Structure 1
Amino acid sequence: MSTDSKLHKQFYEAYKNDSEMNQVNVFMCFHPIAMCEVFMPFNRTLIVIASTRYELARFSKEDWTKLNKNLQIIASNPRNVIAGNNLYDAEYIRYFTGIKTIVLSSLCAYTKVSYKPVIRKPFIIANMNAKNFRSKFMSLLTDSFQRLKISVRIGHLRDIYKGHYRYIQLARHPGIIHIPYQVSIMSLFEHYRMNIPLFFPSLDLLTEWHYTYRVVNERTWDGISGHIKNASRISGVLGPDIPDPNNEFDRDAIRYWLKFSDFYQWPHIIYFNSTDELVIKLKTTNLTEVSSNMKVYNANLTKNLFEQWRQILQRTSPL
């Protein structure tokens, strides 16, 4: 997504009198949200929804600062919307811009599948991007199984399904164990909407694992590149009491920001403080009850989300 202001102006000049473009009431920008800079001159409603750290395609200090100013301009018009599809990204935008960013969750109702476990299907271990941690985790888990003398069938997702798999296949497994590599991913929305019981490390455990092994390695863009830092390229605007979200060398900062992850915001997720506790919960949790509770929550969320969108679209102004 180009940062060239001349190119942006050329785009506007090329389309400002276009008959089809003039029928557009709303521009929606998701990934990257920086694309909304191109549409600002058209003076239409802008709905900006970040699904990852919003500085994507605006990594330099200069470009990131300019994007912040443009987002503040967009937010100053009450018909526009600045949102994250998760609380982490909403808080992340607020940290750097001061904009009161709302959460517009992804629905992912397209799966059209609900939890229906089949006997003898294993628990699935979802993908882990921190390859150096996979063997460590499996060693800890194997040791827990042996020491506690508990037997539970488990398998890695890509060992069970080496190619394409369907949602209905996932819904037949008793549950999914996540060692998250990101704070919000679309597959997690899908798993939750299918009412599949989900197991996650507790906030304290994930903080320690991330600090030691960089487990959530896609939380920051520097983490993805493998060049982690102790500070962002620009400063936040909320004051010194809020730690820098891109500081990968401070446990308190890591814990503060990880708490906004989807899996610490949604109810009925099953947390474990150790692999021993995970093994016990795999064996003893009433998974049918958990799934039923997830189903109720999903129904309420769907209703509330539709109402959010109804109100947003109601206030958008036609041409």
Structure 2
Amino acid sequence: MTMSALLAPSSPELQEVDFAQLGHYAKHLGRAPRAHHFALTSGERHAHLKGQGLEMLELRAYQASDDLRHIDWRVTARTGQAQTRLYAQENEHQRLLLMDLSSEAYFGTKHSFISTRFVQLAGIIAWRTKQQGDKLSYRLCFGGQDIWQQTTPLLPKLFHPLSQASLIQSRHHATPALQILTPNPVSLKARNKDVIILTDKQQLGRPETLYLKQLAQHNKVFWVQIIDVNTFKLVPGQYQIKSVSGESIVHVSKHSSNLAQQAFQKQNQQLKKQLNQLDIEHLVFDLSEPPEGIARYLLSLGAIG
């Protein structure tokens, strides 16, 4: 799969063999910024440590709750005041992938469909998680389906529903509400995870907002949105749209394009405001951005390892 083929695949419907080839891109994304998970006390340790476990960061004055084993006696003797070694540790990262596609995601003016780009990105995230030895759980909502996995799956088990999510026929069953923000075992008790939400949906009702607030209280949440800016730049005229149900004619005028763009921007600004209030990263990418480019940006933010 060449660079151009990844950006603009021959078909928006991806086969499982296409996901196998995404592993190369995941492997060569680069290195993630180093992130430490700080212990609540100098002596606290957590399970599932990677690498060498604890790493000393600095010294500070001894506190009553500190573990006596972490007192630096040499510095204490020199300064006359008890000093404690403060540690950080690299935990095994746990990632929760939530993808929710509307019927409008199965469209694109250039390169491919928005749905295809989301599915490619999900595949790269899955590969990268496996390559880094991290843990992944997921929930995929598309075409009337709701597929989830609480424990780290074998990649083929994930690639099969991702392949299904790319099928154009899914546009006939997509629901407008955000299914991924309804109670589900995969996210109900999620704690200390990097949560990546992939969706083209923009409306957050009160129930979804409350559930998202709960999710953001205990996890770091990244909201990834992919749009097609060319949708609002179509030359006025008649366009023939082909789908699995047949062909139809769509009339586009400059006025209708302006109204659609204004409505989209207003809704998107409202979404951004809601997410900012919940301290959630709102990341918007154009369809022209290759999937590995989006993944690399997520890597720079620490969303993927």
> Normalised by the size of structure 1, how large is the TM-score?
0.32
> Normalised by the size of structure 2, how large is the TM-score?
0.33
Which structure dedicates a bigger proportion of its chain to helix?
Answer: 1
Higher relative contact order (CA 8 A, sep 6+): 2
